[in-house]
Amino acid sequence: MNGELVIDVHGLSKSFGSRKVVRDVDIRVRRGEICGFLGPNGSGKTTTIRMLCGLLTPDASEGTCLGYDIRRQAALIKREVGYMTQKFSLYEDLSIRENLDFVARMYQVPDRDAVVDRTLEQLGLVGRQRQLAGSLSGGWKQRLALAACILHNPRLLLLDEPTAGVDPKARREFWDEIHRLAAGGLTVLVSTHYMDEAERCHAIAYIAYGRLLVRGTVDSVVHESGIATWEVTGPDPIALARALEGKPGIDMVVPFGNTLHVSGLDAAALEQAIAPFRADAALRWTPAEPGLEDVFIALMMRSKDELH
């Protein structure tokens, strides 16, 4: 990665009628960076991505994407972006090769056949190139969609929950390919609900209720969250969770298998709240580092409280 900013946008906002979907969001992403875009359903991730790639016009914003003004040069942005939507959007009654050839024609790609051949090879699709897209499994559809996004050699890849419904092996192979592309200088903004995918990003940004709440590396986001966390195991974690929830100083009780993560934004208040329970010999308490999931739940709760 270098210092070149591929996305440098400030005050990005969008409303549909009286509903504010994106509220004054700032986004900066550098060349070759994989930036994970996280947040609950309805948080404004997809709307933000569509504004960045020129499909939606912001109500307000200033700044650039790929060096082009985000409001006045949307047509130029579109030509240099690969956008992979949540829903498979290629033609199911065409073969893999026919789909890629069609996309190459749309982008007026020079030496089209050679580019399609190279993209098929890169994504491991050569052996299936005559197969109809509609007959592919979720993982293979995902590969085809990614192939269609990169064959016109974009400078920016926008991926909107690209691995939803895909098996773990296909997800891992997909992310390996994303890292190879980024190493070659391609910039990637990817929205995801999976914490393991977020941890594979160079930087993450979390959006909730249309507001960007935090941005940074995984380590910095966790470290700066201010969350104190304890792990506790015992014979009846469900009953224990009920007993702990709502106690002053305890902001979250989250089950992880047979273990509970008990967290609070005030470490001293949290320790005071759990002190009576630590006297129970049947329970084992261990200080723990908060995980991304702990941080994001806390951020979402805090943001909801601020809005209400």
**CATH no. for residue 87?**
3.40.50.300
Distances (CA, A) of 1 to 36, 158, 178, 185: 16, 18, 14, 7
Tell whether 58 and 192 lie within a shared domain: yes
Co-location of 196 and 235 in the same domain: no
Q: How much is the average pLDDT of 195-215?
A: 91
Residue ending a domain, choose from 218, 245, 278: 218
55 part of a folded domain: yes
The answer to whether residues 250 and 204 belong to one domain is no
Reading the block at residue 292, the tokens are 């991304």
- What are the E-state strand segments in 39-103? 60-65, 68-69, 81-84
> Same domain for 187 and 79?
yes
Q: Binning pLDDT at 50, 70 and 90, where does residue 301 land?
A: confident
Q: Is residue 294 part of a domain?
A: no
In-domain check, residue 198: yes
Share of the chain above pLDDT 70, in %: 97
pLDDT at 212: 92
For residue 249, give both structure tokens.
């100083």
pLDDT band, very low/low/confident/very high, at 308 (cuts 50, 70, 90) = very low
**In terms of domains, do 24 and 103 share one?**
yes
Residue 305 lies in a domain: no
Q: Is residue 247 part of a domain?
A: yes
Residues 199 and 269 in one domain: no
Query: What mean pLDDT do residues 235-256 have?
Result: 92
Q: What pLDDT score does 115 carry?
A: 97
Q: pLDDT at residue 265 above 90?
A: no
How do strand 5-16 and strand 60-65 relate by DSSP bridges?
antiparallel
Within this chain, do residues 127 and 167 fall inside the same structural domain, yes or no? yes
Cβ proximity of 123 and 181 under 8 Å: no
As a whole number, mean pLDDT of residues 70-98 equals: 92
Q: Provide the pLDDT for residue 303.
A: 64
Among the residue ranges 1-10, 23-32, 127-136, the one predicted with the least confidence is 1-10
Q: Give the chain's mean pLDDT.
A: 91
Between 166 and 285, the more confident residue is 285
As a whole number, mean pLDDT of residues 100-119 equals 96
The CATH number for 269's domain is 3.30.70.860
Half-sphere exposure of 290 (CA within 13 A, CB side): 29
pLDDT (mean) for 244-270: 91
What is the rounded average pLDDT of the residues 59-63?
92
Structurally, how many domains does the chain consist of?
2
- In one-letter notation, the amino acid at residue 160 is D
Residues 58 and 165 in one domain: yes
At residue 89, the pLDDT reads 87
Domain match, 149 and 285 both: no
Residue 299 lies in a domain: no
pLDDT band at 163 (very low <50, low <70, confident <90, very high): confident
Mean of pLDDT values over 215-240? 92
Same domain, 214 and 232: no
| Single residue among 186, 218, 250 that ends a domain in this structure | 218
Q: Could you say which of 171, 192, 218 is where a domain stops?
A: 218
Range of the domain at 254: 228-289
Statement: residue 174 has pLDDT above 70: yes
Query: How far apart, in whole angstroms, are the C-alpha atoms of residue 302 and residue 214?
Result: 12
**Distance between CA atoms of 250 and 228, rounded to whole angstroms?**
10
Q: Does pLDDT of 307 surpass 70?
A: no
How confident is the model at residue 259, as a pLDDT? 92
Asked if 134 and 90 sit in the same domain, the reply is: yes
Judge if 186 and 118 occupy the same domain.
yes
Is residue 137 a part of any domain in this protein?
yes
Residue 297 lies in a domain: no
